[in-house]
Chains A and B, each alone.
Chain A
């Protein structure tokens, strides 16, 4: 299974976390088999080296948010208010979606053959996001 990217959107449609994993080109390093992670930093203004050449990672996040938001509304209209969309496939990738009751959206892009990542996204929310994100500065 290959994971291409992972995004978290808060309830104000803001992308609060994004991370992409793309394989390193073999000509630069000999270790092509080991994927490298790229955290796009907005502070230093360095253009993204990997990935889309004509579109920034910010634009990608916006497009992905627009897609999942539209699909979520569409699914609610067709399947009823308590229905929610889980994933979609194209010929090239699979997008997994999980939304918390507080409207925080977790999105993950993987290869087409990966199994359902709903539980994984739920675990990321419960064990990582709540634990290290929400409760970070909370006195315990």
Chain B
């Protein structure tokens, strides 16, 4: 796949991620008798904010999406049977914070070209297998 294909996929995913959040089913909550006829709604898991797609399973792979507080999305493609994806994701975020965000030559919103990040990420993942 070319870089253009990846850009198309990234754009598609971005849109789909937003839609998956808006189609969250909402459950009507009984309004107190004092209030007027407006019905209020609750999410199925109250207390947790509605997020977009978090992980996607296909026959051949599993895609985990982690969104940072600032909106950067990390997409991790793994084997469907891989466990402890949260741990991997957390470590990737940590490495990203350490070697990309703390790199004085990295410009925000630009493609990540940081050798130290590549090296540490590769080294850590190899150490796990």
Partner of A92, one of B5, B12, B13, B44: B44
Residue A40 is within 8 A (CB to CB) of chain B in the complex: no
Q: How far is the CA of A69 from the CA of B52 in the complex (A)?
A: 16
Q: Is the CB of A90 within 8 A of B52?
A: yes
Partner of A77, one of B5, B51, B54: B5
Partner of A84, one of B21, B45, B58: B58
Q: Which residues of A have CB within 8 Å of B48? A: 91-92
Q: How far is the CA of A90 from the CA of B38 in the complex (A)?
A: 27
Q: Is the CB of B23 within 8 A of A60?
A: yes
Residue B20 is within 8 A (CB to CB) of chain A in the complex: yes
Q: Is the CB of A109 within 8 A of B77?
A: no
Q: Is the CB of B23 within 8 A of A74?
A: no
**Residue in B closest to A28 when the chains form the complex, CB atoms:** B30
Q: Which residues of A have CB within 8 Å of B29? A: 25
Q: How far is the CA of A37 from the CA of B60 in the complex (A)?
A: 35
Partner of B27, one of A23, A64, A66: A23
Residue A126 is within 8 A (CB to CB) of chain B in the complex: no
> Which chain A residues numbered 84 to 140 have a C-beta less than 8 Å away from chain B?
84-93, 95, 109, 111-112, 116
Q: Which residues of B have CB within 8 Å of A70? A: 12, 15-16
| Interface residues in B, total, Cβ within 8 A | 41
Partner of A90, one of B9, B12, B21, B27: B21
Q: Is the CB of B24 within 8 A of A79?
A: no
Q: Which residues of A have CB within 8 Å of B25? A: 4-5, 22, 51, 92-93, 109
Q: Is the CB of A67 within 8 A of B57?
A: no
Q: Is the CB of B56 within 8 A of A71?
A: yes
Q: Which residues of A have CB within 8 Å of B57? A: 85-88, 116
Residue B78 is within 8 A (CB to CB) of chain A in the complex: no
Q: Is the CB of B59 within 8 A of A84?
A: yes
A–B complex contacts, Cβ < 8 Å, 8 sampled: A26-B30, A78-B9, A78-B77, A83-B61, A86-B57, A88-B20, A89-B55, A92-B44
Chain A residues proximal to chain B, CB less than 8 Å: 2, 4-5, 22-23, 25-28, 50-53, 60, 63-64, 66-67, 70-71, 73-75, 77-80, 83-93, 95, 109, 111-112, 116
Q: Beyond the given A2-B44, A66-B16, please list 12 additional residue pairs across the A-B interface where CB-CB is below 8 A.
A: A25-B30, A51-B28, A53-B39, A63-B19, A70-B12, A78-B61, A83-B60, A90-B51, A91-B48, A91-B51, A92-B24, A92-B25
